Amino acid sequence: MAEILVLYYSRGGSVARLARQIARGIGEVPGMSARLRTVPPVAAVTQTSAPPVPDDGAPYVEISDLAECDGIVLGSPTRFGNMAAPVKHFLDGLGAEWVNGTLAGKPAAVFTSTASMHGGQESTLLSMQIPLLHHGCLIVGIPFTEPALSHTTTGGTPYGASHVAGAQDDPQPSDDEAHLARVLGRRVADIAKRLAQ
């Protein structure tokens, strides 16, 4: 069975919940499954290392995950209109994979969560696409042929799946957000399956 890497960083749980919806969408494509992984947090004190296994949730990503999977869906909370530092730190360490073309030709998509409706979702999604393009990925978005994209009053963009947590930091995606995340997962899995044929 072919796998799509769903790689994310999540602090409040919103991005992790979107990741699980994306994984559900991937699993809806026959012969495809999701491999959920997370990136470790970064510490201001460099002598402190993260534990080898997270306390809960998905295991930490390993470089071999990138080579073994047929596509990647990358998620991060929004930090001032950009991806969170742990995601950027992980991407910055992929020089050898860039040189070797580990991700070249693989479909890729992105997802995010913000506290407010205008909290920088689209700029964060675009910022995550840039390194994926440098790696030679084929960027997958959500087309407006998907009706939920036109009527959602919460998250969801053509650039990728998203969630608006709101002032109360609610990690639960709305029905539209969850639906659009599953659509994105299905699209990446379907394209990866077609490319493998």
Mean pLDDT of 7-13: 94
51 lies in some domain: no
Structure tokens at 183: 């659509």
* Residue 143, in any domain of the structure: yes
Q: For residues 156-178, give the mean pLDDT.
A: 94
> Would you place residue 186 in the very low, low, confident or very high pLDDT band (cuts 50, 70, 90)?
very high
What is the count of structural domains for the chain? Answer: 1
Q: Write out the residue range of the structural domain in which residue 70 sits.
A: 2-40+58-196
pLDDT higher than 90, residue 190: yes
Whether 142 and 187 have beta carbons less than 8 Å apart is answered as yes
Residue 45 counted as domain residue: no
pLDDT, position 42: 85
- Residue 48 included in any domain: no
Is residue 101 over pLDDT 80? yes
Q: Is residue 73 part of a domain?
A: yes
Say yes or no to pLDDT of 192 above 70.
yes
Residue 20: which CATH number? 3.40.50.360
Confidence (pLDDT) at 49:
61
Cβ contacts of 186 within 8 Å, gap of 6 or more: 25, 26, 28, 29
- Whole-number average pLDDT of the chain: 94
> Tell me: the pLDDT tens digits for 132-156?
999 999 999 999 999 999 999 999 9
Residue 92 resides in a domain: yes
Asked whether residue 47 is domain-assigned, the answer is no
Q: What is the pTM (predicted TM-score) of this model? A: 0.94
For 35-89, what is each residue's pLDDT tens digit? 999 999 887 766 666 566 667 789 999 999 999 999 999 999 999 999 999 999 9
Rounded to whole angstroms, how far apart are CA atoms 146 and 43? 40
Residue 35 lies in a domain: yes
User: Are 29 and 189 contacting, i.e. CB atoms less than 8 angstroms apart?
Assistant: yes
CA gap 140, 167 in Å, rounded: 30
